[in-house]
């Protein structure tokens, strides 16, 4: 709901918002520019009487003196029957330059206030301000949800690309945007009578005036008592009319001054409502607060980028979720389908089930597992279809499911069935689905059908499961879904570096380039058939299709597309089909591969320390992160191999990164050297330093085999104990990430 609230209005109004924001940013410069052009005396240095005396000496036909919100003083005068206006120096009364409001700023202001459309445009601008307010509030709540709480709001983000840019910029700009949106909405609401307006009324003309001979303006007592910093406007009396008076406005109120006696004849202080109104205007425009204007302007400039990245996030999510037609409302649905997926294949199966149940006459609601509701009032069937990731962990769209399950209240009539999707080559086959099944059972919910596990997206197994479920619900379900294999790109091996033969750990760093022109519409249009790699980052996965139609195997990427090369680090497994195939490759050979994004395994931004831990080929993505650390944030690498002579992967590169400070410190452990240590031992030796880094908010990223990962986790648990925290807590905060195989 929060996401829809943030996404839909944002998309609809992005164009108007960008116009409002860019024009607002330009207008925000005006107060600072006005101030730079003006001479501003210190408070208490010049009184209004002194100012008026000096101005009149240079402008005998002065009619009015005005001090603008930015402090510039303008005199309006009449010389030889012709009116004029000059910006003046209040210290001398001399003119600085003719005063002419900029036609450009006036046009920008009209565009900002009304999109150049008079009252209809003003109304639209008001609506946009309210939408911006809604976006800011929903955005703040999303940020809080993403960082894991209000206290964690300033923590570095994990993730990459548009999503990260969107979140980082939003965090920087949201308070400024919130202030602009709030004050803009207030001003619009007042203009259209939705909020009461407090008109600025002055006192009535004085009934009695001395009518004596006018005294020089510089000697008038009431004007001597007003400091320039409080002054707003002085209107001069008609020449040769002894009954006329000076009309004076200050920040505190307005009144009249007798031109002969200099006495303040009538004075009316400004009402509280009018002062508040003026504050709202100043907070919106930066008038009189030039520094705030610059801050608001900088915040407004982020709106075009926020709009573009926001639309791209929305578009990607929409594409990946594949809009489900006839998706019933949660409150109405009789059958609920919850999907846990990382790479989206499980969603295809869920859509098929949705369509089939719909055809059978059920009102069906389908959503991701993270969106588990507190309860489903009308539902009698709950289907959970989920894949498993990492090492038996939840996929991205199900990571918050277990936490949300504690608030879930299942109706007595509700029956559930879990269908796991996984790959039996992983030791923890469909483990997350098994965990979910166990958790639902321990909530006391009744089972419709015992859990079934689908291996490698088997269409036959899925169809058989559908037949069984159909029998149980009394309506045949004919489920038929065979996911398309992902589109692959041809990659040509350009370079390889081989290690570890002497210590029975043959490991190769393989570097590929694109072997054919990009396929998508964009690449063709932009690159006119040049051979370009698809977008990816270090830590993403390369799916490799081994020959003879076997299922894809995944390898962590050690480079980013911006490096111009696709790099993986592969250890040859005994009897390993795909690793053996890759190890046979020679430069010039080609493979078919596809990218699977893995945004959950990325170092956080910001200056908090990053502790990278790996062993063997697990060093690949970790080196990719270090290579990208051009901002020289503190990064510590703990890595374990067998022998420094034989399998010290990336040794020359790591030396260079230490020298140029992309890598802060390197700690290696070699198990077949004299010291015979593992990476866990090095961590234990360094426990004080590691603990201190965790205290400072460090993030830990582990990459490599599961035995090493289990050993590392045990040591880290021990290190964390005195801090009264544990790996699970760090994991929940996005500070303990694993890529294990
Ligand atoms: C990096 C990675 C880790 C995986 N870990 C497991 C695992 O631990 N257990 C398992 O059964 N399947 C595992 N799988 C296989 C996926 O669960 C399987 O491919 C599933 O069909 C993906 O569905 P999805 O695209 O909807 O996420 C893993 C796949 C990848 C790429």
* List of domains in the chain: 2-30+105-198+304-316 (no CATH), 322-473 (3.40.50.360), 489-596 (2.40.30.10), 610-740 (3.40.50.80)
The confidence score (pLDDT) of residue 715 equals 96
pLDDT in the model for residue 535:
85
Strand-pair partners of 256: 247, 266
CA of 709 to the centre of ligand 1 (A): 18
- Best substitution site from 320, 322, 339, 342 to test ligand 1's pocket, by max atoms within 8 Å of Cβ? 342
Q: Which of 277-281, 313-317, 567-571 has the lowest mean pLDDT?
A: 313-317
Whether the per-residue pLDDT at 7 is higher than 60: the answer is no
For residue 521, the model assigns a pLDDT of 43
Whether 667 has a pLDDT exceeding 70, the answer reads yes
Lowest mean pLDDT among 27-41, 191-205, 669-683: 191-205
Best residue for ligand 1 mutational test, from 387, 452, 618 (most atoms within 8 Å of Cβ): 387
Mean pLDDT of the chain: 88
Q: What is the pLDDT of residues 419-448, one digit of tens each?
A: 999 988 787 899 999 999 999 999 999 999
Strand-strand pairing, 699-704 and 610-615: parallel
What spacing in Å lies between the alpha carbon of 680 and ligand 1's midpoint? 27
- For a mutational test of ligand 1's pocket, the pick from 426, 435, 462, i.e. the residue with the most ligand atoms closer than 8 A to its C-beta, is 426
Best mutation site among 422, 437, 484 for ligand 1 pocket (most ligand atoms within 8 Å of CB):
422
Q: Which residue has the higher pLDDT, 701 or 515?
A: 701
Kindly report the protein residue whose alpha carbon is nearest to atom 28 of ligand 1: 389
Among candidate residues 489, 389, 368, 500, the one with its CA nearest the CA of residue 435: 389
Cβ-count burial of 719 within 10 angstroms (0-12 exposed, 13-18 middle, 19+ buried)? buried
| 48-73 confidence digits (pLDDT tens) | 999 999 999 999 999 999 999 889 99
Dist CA 453 CA 421 (whole Å): 6
Measured distance CA(288)–CA(44) in Å, rounded: 18
Distance of CA 44 to the CA centre of its chain: 47
- Asked whether 722 and 143 are in contact (CB, 8 A), the reply is no
> What is the largest distance, in Å, between two alpha-carbon atoms of the chain?
113
Evaluate whether ipTM surpasses 0.95.
yes
Residue 658's pLDDT band, with cuts at 50, 70 and 90, is very high
Atom 30 of ligand 1, nearest CA residue: 389
Give pLDDT tens digits for 375-385.
899 999 999 99
- Number of Cβ within 10 Å of residue 479's Cβ equals 19
Strand partners, 557: 568
pLDDT at 601: 87
**Residue for token pair 């939408």:** 131
**Cα 428 to ligand 1 centroid, rounded to whole Å:** 10
Which residue has better confidence, 606 or 528? Answer: 606
Confidence of residue 534 (pLDDT cuts 50, 70, 90): confident
Span from the CA of 506 to the centroid of ligand 1 (angstroms) = 26
- pLDDT digit string, tens, across residues 466-483: 999 999 999 999 898 888
Q: Give the model's pLDDT for residue 342.
A: 85
Contact between 101 and 110 under an 8 Å Cβ cutoff? The reply is: no
Give the residue among 551, 545, 486 at the shortest CA–CA distance from 519: 486
pLDDT at 526: 46
Q: Which residues line ligand 1 (CB under 6 A)?
A: 341-346, 387-392, 395, 421-423, 426, 428-431, 457, 541, 554, 596
In the predicted structure, residue 734 carries a pLDDT above the cut 60: yes
Q: For residue 436, what is the enclosing H or E element? A: helix 431-442
Q: Output the CA 741–ligand 1 centroid distance in Å.
A: 11
Q: Which atom of ligand 1 is the closest one to the Cα of 429? A: 11
Q: In the structure, what pLDDT confidence band is assigned to residue 740 with cuts at 50, 70 and 90?
A: confident
What residues have CB less than 8 Å from 56, skipping those under 6 apart? 62, 93, 217, 218
Q: What is the mean pLDDT of residues 443-461?
A: 91
**Mean per-residue pLDDT, 118-135:** 86
| Pairwise pLDDT comparison (294 vs 217), residue with the higher score | 217
Pairing of strands 231-235, 73-79: unpaired
Mean pLDDT of 353-368: 94
Determine the Cα–Cα distance for residues 204 and 672; give it in Å rounded to an integer.
98
- The residue contributing the CA closest to ligand 1 atom 31 is 554
- Distances in whole angstroms, Cα of residue 94 to Cα of each of 59, 84, 86, 250, 577: 9, 14, 9, 22, 89
Q: Which of 192-201, 602-611, 623-632 shows the lowest per-residue confidence on average (mean pLDDT)?
A: 192-201
pLDDT in tens, 152-203: 667 665 555 677 788 888 888 889 999 999 998 998 888 888 887 766 677 8
Residue nearest to atom 9 of ligand 1 (CA): 429
Report the pLDDT value the prediction gives residue 522, as an integer from 0 to 100.
Answer: 44
Q: Using CA positions, which residue lies closest to atom 22 of ligand 1?
A: 387
Torsion of CA 364, 367, 371, 376, to 10 degrees: 10
Q: What does the pLDDT read at residue 312?
A: 77
Instruction: Look at 116 and 508; give whichever has higher pLDDT.
Output: 508
């Amino acid at each position: 709901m929060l996401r829809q609230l943030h996404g839909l209005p944002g998309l609809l109004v992005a164009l108007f918002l960008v116009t409002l924001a860019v024009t607002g940013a330009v207008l925000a410069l005006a107060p600072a520019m006005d101030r730079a052009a003006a001479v501003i005396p210190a408070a208490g240095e010049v009184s209004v009487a002194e100012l008026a005396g000096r101005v009149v000496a240079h402008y005998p036909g002065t009619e009015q003196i005005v001090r603008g919100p930015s402090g510039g003083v303008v005199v309006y005068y009449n010389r030889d029957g012709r009116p004029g206006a000059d910006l003046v120096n209040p210290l001398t009364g001399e003119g600085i330059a003719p005063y002419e409001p900029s036609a450009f700023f006036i046009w920008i202001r009209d565009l900002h206030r009304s999109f150049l459309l008079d009252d209809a445009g003003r109304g639209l601008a008001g609506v946009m301000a309210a939408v911006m307010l809604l976006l800011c509030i929903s955005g703040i709540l999303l940020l809080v949800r993403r960082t894991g709480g209000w206290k964690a709001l300033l923590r570095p983000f994990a993730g990459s690309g548009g999503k990260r840019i969107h979140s980082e910029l939003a965090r920087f700009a949201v308070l400024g945007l919130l202030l602009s949106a709030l004050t803009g909405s207030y001003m619009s609401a007042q203009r259209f009578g939705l909020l009461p307006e407090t008109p600025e009324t002055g006192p009535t003309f004085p009934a009695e005036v001395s009518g004596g001979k006018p005294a020089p303006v510089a000697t008038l007592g009431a004007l001597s008592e007003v400091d320039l910093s409080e002054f707003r406007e002085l209107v001069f009396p008609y020449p040769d009319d002894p009954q006329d008076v000076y009309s004076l406005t200050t920040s505190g109120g307005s009144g009249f001054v007798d031109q002969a006696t200099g006495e303040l004849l009538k004075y009316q202080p400004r009402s509280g409502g009018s002062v508040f109104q003026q504050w709202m205007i100043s907070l919106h425009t930066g008038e009189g607060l030039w520094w705030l204007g610059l801050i608001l302007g900088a915040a407004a400039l982020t709106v075009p980028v926020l709009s573009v990245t926001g639309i791209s996030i929305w578009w990607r999510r929409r594409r990946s979720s594949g809009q489900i037609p006839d998706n019933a409302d949660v409150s109405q649905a009789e059958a609920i389908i919850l999907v846990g997926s990382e790479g989206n294949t499980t969603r295809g199966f869920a859509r098929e089930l949705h369509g089939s149940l719909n055809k059978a006459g059920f009102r069906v609601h389908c959503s991701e597992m993270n969106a588990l509701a507190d309860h489903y009032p009308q539902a009698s069937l709950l289907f959970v279809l989920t894949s498993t990731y990492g090492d038996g962990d939840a996929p991205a769209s199900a990571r918050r499911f277990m936490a949300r399950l504690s608030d879930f209240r299942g109706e007595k009539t509700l029956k559930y069935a879990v269908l796991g999707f996984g790959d039996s080559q992983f030791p923890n086959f469909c483990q997350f689905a098994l965990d979910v099944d166990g958790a639902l059972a321990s909530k006391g919910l009744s089972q419709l059908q015992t859990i079934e596990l689908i291996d490698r997206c088997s269409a036959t197994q899925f169809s058989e499961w559908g037949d069984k479920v159909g029998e149980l619900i009394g309506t045949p379900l004919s489920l038929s879904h065979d996911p398309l294999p992902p589109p692959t790109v041809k990659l040509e091996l350009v370079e390889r570096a081989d290690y570890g033969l002497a210590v029975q750990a043959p490991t190769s760093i393989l570097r590929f380039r694109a072997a054919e022109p990009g396929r998508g519409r964009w690449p063709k249009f932009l690159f006119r058939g040049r051979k370009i790699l698809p977008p990816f980052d270090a830590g993403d996965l390369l799916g490799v299709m081994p020959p003879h139609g076997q299922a894809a195997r995944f390898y962590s990427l050690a480079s980013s597309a911006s490096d111009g090369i696709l790099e993986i680090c592969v250890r040859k497994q005994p009897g390993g089909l795909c690793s053996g195939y890759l190890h046979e490759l020679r430069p010039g050979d080609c493979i078919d591969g596809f990218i699977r994004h893995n945004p959950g395994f990325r170092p956080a931004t910001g200056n908090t320390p990053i502790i990278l831990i790996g062993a063997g080929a697990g060093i690949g993505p970790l080196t990719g992160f270090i290579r990208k650390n051009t901002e020289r944030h503190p990064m510590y690498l703990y890595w374990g191999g067998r022998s420094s002579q034989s399998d010290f992967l990336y040794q020359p590169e790591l030396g260079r990164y230490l020298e140029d400070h992309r890598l802060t410190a390197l700690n290696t452990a070699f198990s077949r050297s004299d010291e015979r240590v593992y990476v866990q031992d090095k961590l234990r030796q360094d426990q004080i330093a590691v603990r201190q880094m965790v205290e400072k908010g460090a993030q830990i990223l582990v990459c490599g085999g599961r035995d090493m990962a289990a050993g590392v986790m045990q040591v880290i648990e021990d290190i964390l104990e005195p801090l009264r925290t544990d790996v699970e807590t760090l994991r929940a905060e996005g500070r303990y990430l694993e890529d294990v195989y």
